[in-house]
Amino acid sequence: MAGTTPQHTDEEGMHAGVGLTALLVAAARAIETHRHDSLAQDTYAEHFVRAAPACADWPVRIEQAPDGDDNPLWGRFARYFGLRTRALDDFLLRSAGAGTRQVVLLGAGLDTRAFRLDLPSDCVVYEIDRAGVLAFKQRVLTDLPATPKTKRVPVPADLREGWVTALTTAGFDPAAPSVWLAEGLLFYLPAPAETYLIDTVDRLTTGGSALAFEAKLENDQQAYRDSPIYTATREQIGIDLLHLFDNGPRPDSAGNLTAKGWSTSMHTPFDFTRRHRRGPLPEPNDALEGNRWVFAHKPSP
C-alpha cells in the first residue's frame, strides 16, 4: 500500500478532502491539454492523476469520460478549470512581461507554471502549500523527470496559519514587485483567514505588484447542492465540494483591496468564455454563476 513508507505517509493528505480537489483540477487540465481546441497546455497534469491511487480510473482525455462533453463533471466543469487556467496564465505572463520577477502561488496545489510557462529565466516562483501536497508533487516531477524553466522555491506552510516567515525566509523580497495567484483557494478558507490573507498580501507588496484570485458572491451555497456539476462531482468521484467549502459569510476582498488603493476588476467566468469563444455558458441552477475572477494591481508610487 502507498501509505507504508514515510514518504507516502507525508502525502496522505493528497487522497482526501481538499488535497483530492487538487487532483480533480489536474485531471481537468489533462483533459484540456488533449483537446483539439485547448485553452491551456499542462503536459504534467495527467502524471499527477496516474500517480495517485485514489483517481487511477479518472479520465485524462475527454474521450475517456462517459458521455464526453455532455458529462457535467468532465465536460463542463473540466472546461471551466481549463478556462480559469488560461485566464490566470495570461495574467501572470502579462505581469512578468511588465518586469515583475517574483511570483507567489498561494495554495499552489499541483500548479506547474514554473515548468510550463515561458517566464523570464530570472523569475522566482514561490509555491506555498501544505508539506504533503508539495511532497507528492515533487515525487511525481522527479520521477518524470521535469525541469523548471525558472527558479522554483517550494514553501511548505498552512495558509490558515502563519506563513509569512516561511515565505520571506525562502527569499521573497517585499520591497520588489510581485505577482500573486490564489487559484481555487479562498472558497475553502474561513472568512477571517481570507481577510488575513488579503491583508497580508497588501502588506507584503510594493507598488507595481498584482494579485488574481477567485471568489464567490455572497450566496447560499446549499441552494446549488443539486446543480449538475456538484451532483456529478459527488456521484462520480466522491468529492462533496459544498462540504469542503466554508459556508460562513464571505468578506468583500475585492472591495477591501480597492479601499487600500488597489485597482480591481471583477469578471464572471462567462466573460472569458465569450473572449475565447469556448468554455461554459450560463445554465439554469448554475453553480458557476456566483463565481468571480478578480484581478488587482497595486499602483506604483
CA distance 224 to 298: 35
Please report the pLDDT score of residue 203 as a whole number.
98
Q: Position 119: which residue type?
A: L
Distance (Å, rounded) from C-alpha 42 to C-alpha 38? Answer: 10
* 190-246 pLDDT per residue, tens: 999 999 999 999 999 999 999 999 998 866 667 788 899 999 999 999 999 999 988
Length of the chain counted residue by residue: 301
Provide the pLDDT confidence category of residue 161 given band limits of 50, 70 and 90: confident
The three-point CA angle 140-67-55 to 5° equals 25
Beta bridge partners, 44, equal none
Strands 179-182 and 102-106: parallel
Between CA 133 and CA 124 the distance in angstroms is 20
Cα dihedral sign, 109-115-117-120: positive
Cis peptide bond upstream of 269, omega within 30:
no
pLDDT number for residue 205: 98
Range of the domain at 225: 2-297
**How does residue 7 score in pLDDT terms, banded at 50, 70 and 90?**
very low
Yes or no: say if 125 and 150 are a contact pair by the CB < 8 Å rule. yes
- Span 16-36, pLDDT tens digits: 678 899 999 999 999 999 999
DSSP letter (8 states) at residue 122: T
The 10s digit of each residue's pLDDT in 41-68 is 999 999 999 999 989 899 999 999 999 9
Q: What is the CATH number of the domain that holds 98?
A: 3.40.50.150
pLDDT of residue 220: 65
- What's the confidence (pLDDT) of residue 78? 97
Using alpha carbons, select from 59, 292, 110, 115 the residue that is nearest to residue 187. Answer: 292
Question: Model confidence at 4, in pLDDT bands (50, 70, 90)?
Answer: very low
pLDDT at 137: 96
pLDDT greater than 90 at residue 142? yes
Max CA distance (Å), the chain: 56
Distances (CA, A) of 194 to 186, 198, 232, 287: 6, 6, 28, 21
Residue 254 has phi, psi (to 5 degrees) of -65, -45
- 60: number of Cβ within 10 Å: 23
Q: What integer pLDDT is reported at residue 8 of this predicted model?
A: 47
Number of Cβ atoms within 10 Å of the Cβ of 286: 17
User: What percent of the chain is predicted at pLDDT more than 90?
Assistant: 82
| Terminal Cα-to-Cα distance of the chain (whole angstroms) | 56
Tally of domains within the chain: 1
Pairing of strands 291-297, 263-267: antiparallel
Strands 210-216 and 263-267 turn out to be unpaired
pLDDT of residue 1: 29
CA distance 31 to 66: 13
Give pLDDT, residue 283. Answer: 92
Q: How far is CA 215 from CA 22, 152, 252, in A?
A: 17, 26, 9
